[in-house]
Structure 1
Amino acid sequence: MDIPIIFWLFIFLGGMASGFIDSIAGGGGLISLPVLLAVGFPPHLAIGTNKLQSVFGSGMAALRYTGKKLVVWQKIWPGVLTSLFASVLGAWTLTRIEAAALEMALPFILLALWCYVAFKKNLGNQRGQARMRDGLFYPAAGSLFGFYDGFLGPGTGSFWTISQVSLIGMDLKQATAASKPPNFASNIGSLIFFLIAGKAVLAAGLTMAAGQLIGSWLGSYLVIQHQPRFIRPFFLAVVAAIVIKLMGENFGLF
């Protein structure tokens, strides 16, 4: 069966847009998952294929930010390690129980996060005071956010970014950079599970991954070149879009 070139071009461009947004503010799945569903992928294959392509984007961003010394690995490695293992557990749990209750609650949690950032005008513009020790925060956050990413996923990068701003005292630029390695790890962990379960389409995932690499490089370049306040409008726009999408899906608004 011949697949038209427009199919490959569409998912490639979808991957590029997803990588660009995700490297700046997280939430790239808001673009990539609907792209896969739009071209006819059933949900169970779309989720696994989406994880495959997102590994490349988050990996590229993690490498770029590490190369520019925006990631302090001595601090974050416990979060990376726990994210990896917790995401496998989350993906496994997804196959065993219904996620309906969390899906219904998620848009309200993200809306509260959006309000918190929107009304604290200077949040993340510069380094703040740490409220939790790194040695406690990263294992706990990695376990929680890693499990969530494997289990459900939307907004994982946003949760990482704002928790590091609020609890570790990072600015938005540092927090965005530091969120990518653990996000990459949780993508890897859940992807392994989906590949073993046969729930990822390699050709489509790798085509999107090529776009992800380009988009992620461009997005991370902009973050590196600009001040932390540059990230804020992107972050608010992405979280608002996720909230609207989830509200629409959960409550039949559109």
Structure 2
Amino acid sequence: MFEVLPHIVVLLVVAAFVAGFVDSIAGGGGLISVPALLLAGASPIEALATNKLQGTFGAATATVAYARAGHVRLRDQAGMAAVSALFGGIGALAAHLIPVEVLRVVMPVVLVAVAAFFALKPGLSDADKVERIKPAVFAVTAVPLIAAYDGFFGPGTGSFFMLGFVMLAGYGVLKATAHTKLLNFSSNIGSLAVFVFSGATWWFVGFAMAFAQIAGAAIGSRLAMRAGARLIKPLLVVTSTGMALRLLWQVWAG
């Protein structure tokens, strides 16, 4: 039934649980799940398609958890979420137009800069700051760019949404995390809708990993809401740096 041997499925489920936990707090779950799928024998397109399937469930779980706790109002963010879904799909469709090799060189630098911002910027907390741009402007500038990037490449999407919400929208760290998961879920849905027709998705493995993602995301989001910026900031720095190192390793190894 499964696309790989049972013991490989068990390892992928464990990886998905950890990915869901980390992603619900700071993003970067793909840093764990995509390499795990590649090591299991998936081709790059199979790994990306299956990762979108299972990751969507984790992002949805975290979004619901944050919404129930009042950290994000889904109705107020529906327009922004729709934009994210649309451009996530557009990004997936346009994936073949962007040289991945270029992104693999550029993105580590950007991710290190994101990590340095959250590590060194004083005064980052769960309290809201000054709003630099209006939500409508944020929805038609930052959201389409980041969501499209998620569709055609992916690593660091959560970090970029976080950076945008903190620097431009003036959100506190916990509020930014909650809204990031909503937009990440939406961009996942958009790109998944494209990948479904690729025929590359490992459906049985993907759904098995999805259940583990749900469990990891549920635990991670609750922990994030308890600890707030004290947990989110260092974990975001670690995941952003980890993604940068992974991308650099891919460049050198290739």
TM-score tier after normalising by the smaller chain length: over 0.9
In the other structure, the counterpart of 1:214 is: 215
Q: Where does the alignment leave 5 or more consecutive residues of structure 1 unmatched?
A: none
Q: Paired residue for 1:242?
A: 243
Provide the residue aligned with 2:159 in structure 1.
158
| CA apart distance, 1:178 | 0.7
Q: Larger deviation: 154-163 or 70-79?
A: 70-79
Partner of 1:21: 22
CA contact (8 A) 2:83 2:144 kept: yes
Partner of 2:40: 39
State the AA in 2 paired with 1:95: H
CA distance in 2, matches of 1:84, 1:174: 20
User: What TM-score, normalized by structure 2, do the two folds share?
Assistant: 0.95
Q: How many pairs align?
A: 253
Q: What residue is the counterpart of 1:252 in the other structure?
A: 253
CA gap of 1:229–1:122, structure 2 versus 1, over 3 A, is farther
Aligned-pair CA distance for 1:97 = 4.3
SS in 2 for 1:63: helix
Gap regions ≥5 residues in structure 2: none
8 Å contact from structure 1 (residues 87, 187) kept in 2: yes
- Greater alpha carbon shift after TM alignment, 223-232 vs 152-161: 223-232
- 1:126–1:228 contact (8 Å) kept in structure 2: no
Hey, what does 2:73 align to over in structure 1? 72
Residue 192 of structure 2 is aligned to residue 191 of structure 1: yes
TM-score when normalising by structure 1: 0.95
Is contact 1:78–1:142 with CA below 8 Å preserved after alignment? no
Q: C-alpha displacement at 1:75, in angstroms?
A: 4.3
Cα distance in 2 for residues equivalent to 1:99 and 1:72? 35
Q: Secondary structure at the residue paired with 1:15? A: helix
Q: Do the aligned partners of residues 115 and 52 (structure 1) sit closer, same or farther apart at CA in structure 2, a change above 3 Å counting?
A: same
Superimposed CA distance per residue, residues 95-131 of structure 1 (whole angstroms, 9 cap, x where no aligned partner):
3443222221011111111122221132244221111
Alignment-mate amino acid for residue 220 of structure 2: G
User: For each residue in 1:198-251, what CA deviation from the matched residue of structure 2 results, as whole angstroms up to 9, or x when unmatched?
Assistant: 121100110110110000000001012223222111111111111111111113
| Contact kept? 2:115, 2:238, Cα under 8 Å | no
Q: Tell me the distance in 2 between the aligned counterparts of 1:96 and 1:113.
A: 26
Q: Distance in 2 between matches of 1:4 and 1:200?
A: 16
Q: CA RMSD in A?
A: 1.6
Structure 1 residue ranges, 4+ long, deviating more than 3 angstroms after superposition: 1-4
Question: Which one is further off, 160-169 or 138-147?
Answer: 138-147
2:230 partner amino acid? R
Which amino acid letter does the alignment assign opposite residue 186 of structure 1? S
* Secondary structure of residue in 1 paired with 2:141: helix
Task: State how far apart, in whole Å, the 1-side matches of 2:108 and 2:215 are.
Answer: 30
The whole-number CA distance in structure 2 between the counterparts of 1:74 and 1:207 is 30
User: Given that residues 108 and 243 in structure 2 are in contact (C-alpha distance below 8 angstroms), is that contact kept between their aligned partners in structure 1?
Assistant: yes
CA contact (8 A) 1:79 1:141 kept: no
Quote the sequence identity (%).
34
